[in-house]
Chain A
């Protein structure tokens, strides 16, 4: 039975509330908090939303102040959420208002919301932080009953997630009876996700439930099997070879979404498909995060009204933007993770009871195994966990300033509050004092910060009173650091989107590029604006490439894959198709596995090669390769390549190693020191420091549209320079260490690398001398030609070149005047 006041709504729709929805309403009525987990498109929103609505309706008088805060991770989702929340109210309680306040909200509405908050406010973590800087927020929210965090899995594991944790801690302190609800998609660590949301030992977490809407939504994962497996490539990631077969599939459905792993791949596949069917061009579109918002909205609208038949996209369409579901979903290339593929599959058959179907499009042979494995794991519900971040101090210091502005705080009370969050549950007294020092006197070296002031103590409470500083802080709240992006536009001002500066600066004016499915010619690049025009000849331009495309295979999927390679699991068409290649691998070497460690050794005219297959994802392999090359201490240079299954070393000589030596080279002992020594982490940390400096308030972000305050230029500095200054004059600064920690985790998945080494130490080694490159060795071998040296190598190389010049200068040949 639905709670009575909700009956008319369901009756009018002819709907019946689902069991999980009733369960959620009941839990809410009983004052519980919790996490609701359901696949997209099953009424999660109504389940959480109607609890507070029913509560309001059961009162004699409808509330006239804010009772619900609804946090959404994406501004773009706010409008959709608003629509979904308003719908039932129109019938049940037309006087209850819902509004959204995000960075996109027009100034007039924002001003209105400053005066009076509606019954429910849809907002982002950043906007909630901003609210905390206003002294009257506590009073304005005094009737607050519930906070709902939508798409919590998206926030979890990011600094925005930590920011959310801290804001929730603040609200819990203010209103101890507050009910907190999270909505999450499929995750491997739902219990932990709930604990992070509610705090590890809070009133809310002691009275909490996890509700799982396991609707047994059937998901079918199929794979396009290449017709000629013996001609199918053993490696590569572009692999548009199956474009023809993909067209056959597009023809069978009314609407199709084709997911790829990177934005470049999106553009490449769009080109490949468009070339095969030029007449389809206006029914085919591209969608990715770098596109201009108008462009994206146009594509989304096209999918909704059916004028577009097929959209090639990246994770920009992963999230629950509620456009009508498509008929089928294709995944090009490795699915990388199980949860990720399920989420993408959820874009089709987006209604209860309907089947979600995803069709895998392998780009090389081993991905056939991956698709078979991902199906196994999805059926067994072995999903990836999303791990929360542990005490990022940059987020904490920003939050402390936020709090000090809104309502002066007493340090001991605040410490309690901060420690009630999951991320900072074991914050040490030392770290706490450092943070307080950072926001008030600058740092531990007191003398080094004579003019610094931000927060100061007043009657035992930290407060910020300088109006300029308050304004400055408000404008820089948030944890997303602005990339060095260049906006791409036509001469008439029409904006296409953004590309990374590092990419566009490599193209000369007159050169061509491909963006948003268009062939373009660069006219000029000036002040972060690249002016382009349609390319005259339809020649191939460079495809815009973006960073962050190196997402590794998840541990869970790697395990499932290893099981398939051991021959476990029911017969699968993918395995049948790939069998001839696996057979070659078996004949020439052995199949890799995650219970042993396969090591192949080969000789060639170039020298010696080692191929090692830990099956731990490409970032870990990159770290392992660099580590081994460093520990080998060979006189010649060693080339390292890696992919998701293993890594290889190539050297003139010295790679014929026995098991004891291999084990020594792969020991977890001294891991951190060796990595720091071999990876030039100082340089990497300096780059990571950009984000840390931004979040912690060491750098002022330039504001769009020249709204910068007076004297802004005088306090501009590169994060690199700041890093050097801090290293020299305040080496104990905890933010420096944090940068190093973050970069190790980001670049090499340090935690996973360490546990991989521990695991490898327990596995038997399987050493093979191979005469032919095995199918799994071949891609690693082929990559060695394009292997780029790491930054430190390249810098060393350049330095030695300059040294050569210096020596030449010393022998006093006057410098040649080179002219162009």
Chain B
């Protein structure tokens, strides 16, 4: 779905990503190695998502003809999750990828003693007149921002007893667009609705906007 934020065109993709007009593909919150971090704490969660998520990202970039990938924070989950296996996986993936990747550092990434090669880590990026930063608290008040961190979910109800819980894009105050988490093994939270919020979900592989009266 094409959207204009303060005059800047962006495309919301149902694959939980955003495409900017210069071909930059923005995703966030992959949390690679999260299951591994659980295992290190004695919790028997199988690791399987990291490889699949990276592959999914490469396919998506190819399919939409992206010219580069921006990971808007939390590519990694924790120091315990950055195992040699995960690092290998990432290196091979970067090598095979025909386009460059840049990491905007998230709070989880910052806990790592070092960031693996080839990711050109930075704190903030400005691109096509849009600020790209991990923490929604650092969104700009003047120009549009793309943020992440919250893993937003929408709770959609029809006033009866049950509700549907879906990951969503959240546009707050008309300027701050919060990305859903790209990683599979990531939870999410339902946020308190604020005035002027706009919610976008993709229940059937297509982005739709949910009228606010259907949100909890």
CB of A475 closer than 8 Å to a CB of B: no
Q: State which of A312-320, A407-415, A437-445 sits at the interface with chain B.
A: A437-445
Please pick, from B42, B156, B163, B210, the residue contacting A452 in the complex, using a CB distance under 8 A.
Answer: B42
Give min CB distance, A511 to chain B, whole Å.
16
CB of B23 closer than 8 Å to a CB of A: no
CB <8 Å contact, A794 and B43: no
| Chain A residues with CB below 8 A from B186, complex form | 721
CB <8 Å contact, B204 and A700: no
Q: State which of B55-63, B77-85, B124-132, B137-145 sits at the interface with chain A.
A: B77-85
Please pick, from A466, A472, A716, A802, the residue contacting B201 in the complex, using a CB distance under 8 A.
Answer: A802
Please pick, from B37, B162, B206, the residue contacting A809 in the complex, using a CB distance under 8 A.
Answer: B206
CB <8 Å contact, A442 and B85: no
Q: Provided the pairs A725-B48, A728-B48 are in contact, do residues A698 and B212 lie with their beta carbons within 8 angstroms?
A: no
CB <8 Å contact, B204 and A803: yes
CB <8 Å contact, B35 and A816: no
CB <8 Å contact, B198 and A817: yes
| Chain B residues with CB below 8 A from A716, complex form | 187
CB <8 Å contact, A438 and B44: yes
| Chain B residues with CB below 8 A from A728, complex form | 48
Q: Provided the pairs A809-B206, A815-B209 are in contact, do residues A698 and B43 lie with their beta carbons within 8 angstroms?
A: yes
CB <8 Å contact, B208 and A805: yes
Please pick, from B42, B108, B206, the residue contacting A466 in the complex, using a CB distance under 8 A.
Answer: B42
CB <8 Å contact, A802 and B156: yes
Q: Select from chain B the residue with minimum beta-carbon distance to A448.
A: B46
CB <8 Å contact, A450 and B47: yes
By the criterion of a CB under 8 Å from any partner CB, how many residues of chain A are at the interface? 54
Give min CB distance, A727 to chain B, whole Å.
10
Cα distance, A410 to B183, chains bound together (Å): 41
Please pick, from A473, A725, A809, the residue contacting B208 in the complex, using a CB distance under 8 A.
Answer: A809
Interface string of A778-811 (1 = CB under 8 A from B): 0000000000110100110111011101100110
CB <8 Å contact, B77 and A450: no
Cα distance, A466 to B47, chains bound together (Å): 22
CB of A606 closer than 8 Å to a CB of B: no
CB <8 Å contact, B212 and A820: yes
Give min CB distance, B90 to chain A, whole Å.
15
Cα distance, A14 to B171, chains bound together (Å): 81
Please pick, from B39, B47, B185, B206, the residue contacting A806 in the complex, using a CB distance under 8 A.
Answer: B206
CB <8 Å contact, A717 and B201: no
Q: Provided the pairs A799-B203, A815-B209 are in contact, do residues A725 and B39 lie with their beta carbons within 8 angstroms?
A: no
CB of A301 closer than 8 Å to a CB of B: no
Q: Select from chain A the residue with minimum beta-carbon distance to B164.
A: A798
Please pick, from A449, A466, A798, A809, the residue contacting B44 in the complex, using a CB distance under 8 A.
Answer: A449
Cα distance, A711 to B45, chains bound together (Å): 17
| Chain B residues with CB below 8 A from A697, complex form | 42-44
Q: Provided the pairs A700-B43, A799-B203 are in contact, do residues A451 and B196 lie with their beta carbons within 8 angstroms?
A: no
| Chain B residues with CB below 8 A from A76, complex form | none
Give min CB distance, A442 to chain B, whole Å.
4
CB <8 Å contact, B35 and A725: yes
CB <8 Å contact, B38 and A717: yes
Please pick, from B41, B85, B210, the residue contacting A450 in the complex, using a CB distance under 8 A.
Answer: B85
Please pick, from A445, A715, A789, A817, the residue contacting B38 in the complex, using a CB distance under 8 A.
Answer: A715
Cα distance, A817 to B213, chains bound together (Å): 11
Q: Select from chain A the residue with minimum beta-carbon distance to B193.
A: A820
CB of B114 closer than 8 Å to a CB of A: no
Cα distance, A425 to B186, chains bound together (Å): 39
Cα distance, A799 to B49, chains bound together (Å): 26
Give min CB distance, B56 to chain A, whole Å.
13
| Chain B residues with CB below 8 A from A729, complex form | 46-49
Cα distance, A254 to B139, chains bound together (Å): 69
CB <8 Å contact, B36 and A818: no
Please pick, from A450, A722, A730, A819, the residue contacting B196 in the complex, using a CB distance under 8 A.
Answer: A819
Q: Provided the pairs A721-B187, A725-B35, A725-B185 are in contact, do residues A449 and B47 lie with their beta carbons within 8 angstroms?
A: yes
CB of A16 closer than 8 Å to a CB of B: no
Cα distance, A448 to B52, chains bound together (Å): 13
Q: Select from chain B the residue with minimum beta-carbon distance to A472.
A: B42
Cα distance, A817 to B198, chains bound together (Å): 8
Cα distance, A714 to B198, chains bound together (Å): 29
CB <8 Å contact, B41 and A448: no
Give min CB distance, B152 to chain A, whole Å.
15
| Chain B residues with CB below 8 A from A472, complex form | 41-42
Give min CB distance, A735 to chain B, whole Å.
9
Q: Which A699-752 residues sit within 8 Å CB-CB of chain B?
A: 699-700, 711, 714-718, 721-722, 725-726, 728-730
| Chain A residues with CB below 8 A from B21, complex form | none
CB of B161 closer than 8 Å to a CB of A: yes
Give min CB distance, B45 to chain A, whole Å.
6
CB of B40 closer than 8 Å to a CB of A: yes
Cα distance, A728 to B1, chains bound together (Å): 30
CB <8 Å contact, A818 and B213: yes
CB of B22 closer than 8 Å to a CB of A: no
Q: Select from chain A the residue with minimum beta-carbon distance to B84.
A: A450
CB <8 Å contact, B39 and A451: yes
Q: Provided the pairs A721-B185, A725-B185, A809-B209 are in contact, do residues A443 and B203 lie with their beta carbons within 8 angstroms?
A: no
Give the interface of B toward A (CB within 8 A). Answer: 1, 35-49, 77-78, 80, 83, 85, 108, 156-158, 160-164, 184-187, 195-196, 198, 201, 203-204, 206-214
Name 20 interchain pairs, CB-CB below 8 A, sorted by A.
A451-B83, A454-B44, A472-B41, A473-B42, A697-B42, A697-B43, A715-B43, A717-B38, A717-B187, A725-B45, A729-B47, A788-B161, A795-B162, A797-B160, A801-B158, A802-B208, A802-B210, A805-B209, A815-B208, A819-B195
Give the interface of A toward B (CB within 8 A). Answer: 438, 442-443, 445, 448-454, 466, 468-469, 472-473, 697-700, 711, 714-718, 721-722, 725-726, 728-730, 788-789, 791, 794-795, 797-799, 801-803, 805-806, 809-810, 815-820
New A-B contacts (5) at CB < 8 Å, excluding given A445-B46, A711-B78, A805-B210: A442-B46, A697-B44, A715-B41, A725-B49, A820-B212
Ranked 4 nearest A-B pairs via Cβ: A729-B48, A794-B162, A448-B46, A452-B39
